Chains A and B, each alone.
Chain A
Amino acid sequence: MTDLTLQGVRKEFDGVVAVKNIDLHIPDGAFVTVVGPSGCGKSTTLRLIAGLEQATDGMIQMGTQDVTGVEPKDRDVAMVFQNYALYPHMTARRNITFGMKAAGDFSDEEIERQVAEAAAVLDIDDLLDRKPGELSGGERQRVALGRALVRDPEVFLMDEPLSNLDAKLRIKMRAELAKLHSEFGTTTIYVTHDQTEALTLGDRVVVMNDGRIQQVDSPQRLYDFPKTRFVAEFIGDPAMNMLPVDIARNGTDYEAVGPTFRITLPEGDGLEAAAGGQAILGIRPESLSVADSADRSSFTAEVTVTEPLGDSLLLECRTGDQEFKLHAEPRTAVKPGDQVALTVDAERLHLFDSQTGNAIYHAAAAQSLEETDTVDSTI
């Protein structure tokens, strides 16, 4: 086990920059998930850590050792792939031992013991003499995990390991992965495009976009205090509503003023600087609700689409020329075309800079933005 540091890491492929200047520190024993849309550079980052790609610039450190130019096998990492990467002509057992034997620093008894141990943990004892073709997707992924486990590496690298499984199995394996990590405590870096996986598995989540790290934070803070408009929209489903507004000062209060609404913003950092200008108001769908009667911070909108989800009713609404979504109580009696009065959970409002997309204000009583994650990452 060891901690891992990336400093100014950059990767170009034939002039295309896939990873732009990444700084990241992963503490010993952490489970870090890296999430982002496809092409954001998350897989490349993982492969840079594995040593499958060589960084164009920057430094990668494991513990105190600079591993930037070190061969993958000497980095003591193990990798698990989306398509399992099992050798189809070998039995599960041989798949597990093949790499160990190639590494050559294990005795036969040691290998035997490690395999038995890993098989017991992963519950694949009975499958060891089968070939991958005779195993289900979930079983294959267990074997692939077993192969990584027996190596007893400093760091586990996982590249979308659950993406090829069906939804049910994915949730089950997710729980097992979390259990495995709490048992072994090995530093794990887990790349996924699935935000649910990222939030549920990671004790730290790295959000990437366009080759850059957008934010590194705990799952809840990521959700509550997105640093950029990108993070706000990427995390959460349906995505956070984004409404262009003017920030106006009304006596001692500040208000977000849209063409058809006027919402009072609770006192907080950043408002004074924003006053008199334009910004993007971010409201999560669950922070809006249908009001019984009009009150001070509500506004009206027209319902365009209703989607009953069972535990809630998703409404698509329009006010003026702006569209947004909200989670209403299930069984609320509205239909498309209805006018509804809406209330806003004032503690859950966000403002983003119209130009840069950076967050300028979170309504929830928060520490100032700079304090969120100065230890682990600088953007």
Chain B
Amino acid sequence: MLGSLLTALTAAVERSQAAGRTTSERLRQLETEQLTLHVLAATVVFLIVLPVLIAALVSTKRAGIVTSIADLAPGGHALSNYRRALIGLEFWRYMLNSFVMSIAVVVGKLIVSLLAALVIVYYRFPYKNAVFLFILFTLLLPVPVRFVPLYRLTTELGMGNTFFAITVPYLASATTVFILRQHFLSIPASLVETAKVDGVGPLRFLWSVLVPMSRAVLVGVSVIMFVYTWNQYLWPLVIINAESLQVAQVGLSLLRGQASTGEVAWSMVMTGSILTLLPPLALLVLFRRQLLETFTIQQK
């Protein structure tokens, strides 16, 4: 569907190029061109939003069986559905757990990575490059390649099925250290030299100079870390058994099971989905500027 975009685009351009060459015609041609582009872009946006739009509509209905477009009219059960999901099905608990996990990981990672980046940029010590490589290499060790032994390790430590298990293993972050390092390297060296001559210590320099100067990047990496943690599925699925400790993502999987056995309506599954989507989506929309800025740093 989207693949045909280019063809349509080129056709539109060629058609307008065939038009005359005078200034006013040229202007009109440009206007038509832009109009075509806007129509295409709106279509793309519609297609990308559509699945979630349907989910949102279904979450307002009672049964949530929509087998045709005519069934898509919003229902009047939004309030009762969300109340039922949050309270009746105890989705609030999963959400709360996800929040606590995500915020703990974001704050913890931020502190741990700030300290590491401070050392990597502003300290002189032997084997510094090796240490940096050691941190970067963890990029090759995502949860999926090590969750089996990690599971055994965590249970051996007696930390299986605990809050510890879904937070502490996430605290080391090559990505965050790397982004902060890149950002620090863009701050003039003379600032730290002044601080050094004035007798400003490293932690005070971090807190009073680096952190205030890195606000946008810190917000950006925080959103990235939050989205990453909030969306974790596999690890909580295997390490958390107690429903009272479970996170929203896995809560959704429980809902799905109940839906396929007919215990809950599909509209309830969509309600849960929308609930789970909202926090990271809200952060993305609110902090899009900082997020985009941070992504440009990451890629360097």
Q: Mark B193-222, 1 if CB is under 8 A from A, else 0.
A: 111111111001000110011000000000
Q: Which of B193, B194, B196, B208 has the most CB of A within 10 A?
A: B194
A265 interface residue, CB < 8 Å from B?
no
Contact between chains at B200 and A102 (CB < 8 Å): yes
Measuring CB to CB, which residues of chain A are less than 8 angstroms from any residue of chain B? 47, 50-52, 71-74, 77-79, 81-85, 87-89, 98-100, 102-103, 147, 151, 157
- Residues A79 and B193 in contact in the complex (CB < 8 Å), given A72-B199, A102-B200: yes
Contact between chains at B196 and A52 (CB < 8 Å): yes
Residue of B nearest to A102 (CB): B200
Which label, helix, strand, loop or mixed, suits the secondary structure of the A interface? mixed
B299 interface residue, CB < 8 Å from A?
no
Other-chain contact of B197, A72, A88, A100 (Cβ < 8 Å):
A72
Q: Which 10 A-B pairs have the closest CB atoms?
A: A73-B199, A99-B198, A85-B190, A81-B190, A102-B200, A85-B194, A89-B212, A72-B197, A79-B197, A103-B199
Kindly provide the distance from the CB of A172 to the nearest chain B CB, expressed in whole angstroms.
Answer: 23
Contact between chains at B194 and A79 (CB < 8 Å): yes
Contact between chains at B197 and A87 (CB < 8 Å): no
Other-chain contact of B198, A81, A83, A102, A157 (Cβ < 8 Å):
A102
List 29 A-B residue pairs with CB atoms under 8 Å apart, sorted by A's residue number. A50-B197, A51-B197, A52-B196, A71-B199, A72-B197, A73-B196, A73-B198, A77-B197, A78-B198, A79-B194, A79-B197, A81-B193, A81-B194, A82-B190, A85-B193, A85-B194, A87-B209, A89-B209, A89-B212, A98-B198, A98-B200, A99-B195, A99-B197, A99-B200, A102-B195, A103-B198, A103-B199, A147-B194, A157-B197
B191 interface residue, CB < 8 Å from A?
yes
Docked Cα-Cα span, A74 to B198, in Å, equals 9
List residues of chain A with CB within 8 A of the CB of B204.
Answer: 102
Contact between chains at B196 and A85 (CB < 8 Å): no
Q: Which of A47, A88, A147 has the most CB of B within 10 A?
A: A88
Kindly provide the distance from the CB of B210 to the nearest chain A CB, expressed in whole angstroms.
Answer: 10
Contact between chains at A52 and B193 (CB < 8 Å): yes
Contact between chains at B213 and A85 (CB < 8 Å): no
Kindly provide the distance from the CB of B193 to the nearest chain A CB, expressed in whole angstroms.
Answer: 6
